[in-house]
């Protein structure tokens, strides 16, 4: 996948997550269609990670259609940075989001 497509995927995922948060839902739906039967929510990153020790994705974080092998790799991705900055801007900032907020 080229960089532009990855970036746009991250931006769209961030927009979706932001709009869902604005509508009163605090989590996106759990990922489906992957070899992981146990998804857990990470409050710090506001993403899911695979907690299925029999899965090839074990301990991987999922965001925007991509798996990250560590929390640091997730946090350093451009798509996640965009998602997280939009999330932080909507919490206690006094501004309303542009996605139904």
3-state SS of 86-97? HHHHHCCCCCCC
**Does 73 map to a domain?**
yes
Task: Tell me, yes or no, whether 101 lies in a domain.
Answer: no
In this prediction, residues 59-76 reach a mean pLDDT of 95
Query: Where is average pLDDT lowest: 48-52, 74-78, 82-86?
Result: 82-86
Q: Please, are residues 62 and 50 in contact by the beta-carbon 8 Å criterion?
A: yes
Q: What is the pTM of this model?
A: 0.62
- Domain contains 98: no
- Please spell the DSSP secondary structure of 29-87, one letter per residue: PPP-SSS-S-EEEETTTTEEEE--TTSTTTT-EEETTEEESSHHHHHHSHHHHHHHHHH
**Average pLDDT, stretch 28-57?**
95
Residue 20 has pLDDT above 70, yes or no: no
| Percent residues over pLDDT 70 in the chain | 63
Edge-to-edge, what's the strand order for the sheet holding 61-63? 39-42, 47-50, 61-63, 66-68
| Position 100 in a domain | no
Please give the tally of structural domains in the chain: 1
């Amino acid at each position: 996948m080229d960089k532009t497509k990855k970036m746009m995927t991250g931006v769209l995922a961030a927009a979706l997550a932001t709009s869902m948060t604005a509508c009163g839902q605090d989590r996106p739906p759990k990922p489906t269609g992957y070899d992981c039967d146990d998804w857990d929510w990470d409050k710090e990153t506001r993403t899911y990670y695979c907690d299925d020790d029999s899965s090839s994705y074990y301990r991987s974080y999922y965001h925007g259609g991509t798996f990250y092998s560590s929390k640091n790799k997730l946090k350093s991705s451009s798509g996640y940075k965009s998602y997280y900055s939009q999330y932080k801007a909507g919490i206690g900032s006094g501004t309303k989001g542009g996605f139904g907020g």
